[in-house]
Amino acid sequence: MDLKSLIRTIPDHPHEGIMFRDITTLFGDARGFRRTVDELVQPYAGEKIDAVAGIEARGFILGGAVAHQLSVGFIPVRKKGKLPWKTIGADYALEYGTDRVEIHEDAVVPGSRVLVVDDLIATGGTTAAGIELLRKAGAEIVACSFVIELPELGGAKVLADLGVPFHALLQFDGS
């Protein structure tokens, strides 16, 4: 099964010149979704992982499934203002400003070994903010796992600079 063929590419979304990689078509294919989750889990099966952190929003879908397969808890890393209790946050740069991710202040047991999961690594800004936030809460980041890497955008270097290994199932050229 070619997972890449299950991902829809939408030109000029959300801005002109962007090739948006839409994995909702992958989620809609039962065999493809199952294989994706299995492949995200496989490199970490047997490793000591205490929790999976998923970055909003597609990272919730994938991260929840990965946490289930690893029989560990799940930590939602949300956009600012979405969580109902006391939070801690980290800001990150966007091409048109800044944004913020947050977790509940008690979401991480200090010393927990956490796997970060999201659909895509591009520039690495959101992932880096999530890592910073989880570390601030006391987590040890084991690795990051993604369905897609856009290598030309430099996210791998951002993660390397943070000392975090990562695994991506697929690579796409361009933005």
132 belongs to the catalytic site: no
Quick one: pLDDT at residue 81?
95
Our measurement of the distance from residue 142's CA atom to the centroid of its chain's CA atoms, rounded to an integer in Å, reads 13
Q: Which of 8, 35, 58, 102 is catalytic?
A: 58
Query: Domain residues of the chain, as ranges?
Result: 47-171
∠ CA 93-118-115, nearest 5°, is: 105
- Which residues, at least 6 apart from 52, have a Cβ–Cβ distance to it below 8 Å? 63, 64, 66, 67, 70, 72, 73, 74, 75, 114, 115, 116, 117
Which has the closest alpha carbon to 79: 65, 94, 90? 90
Q: What is the pTM of this model?
A: 0.96
Quick one: pLDDT at residue 12?
93
DSSP lists the bridge partners of residue 149 as 121, 171
Q: Whole-angstrom Cα distance, residue 33 to residue 144?
A: 19
Q: Residue 20: count other Cβ atoms within 10 Å of its Cβ.
A: 14
Q: Whole-angstrom Cα distance, residue 65 to residue 62?
A: 5
122 in Cβ contact with 153 (< 8 Å) = yes
Quick one: pLDDT at residue 175?
64
Mean pLDDT by 10-residue block, N- to C-terminus, for the chain (175 residues)?
95 90 97 98 96 97 98 97 96 85 97 98 96 98 98 96 98 83
Q: Which of 16, 78, 95, 100 is catalytic?
A: 95
Q: Which CATH architecture has domain 47-171?
A: 3-Layer(aba) Sandwich (3.40)
95 belongs to the catalytic site: yes
DSSP lists the bridge partners of residue 43 as none
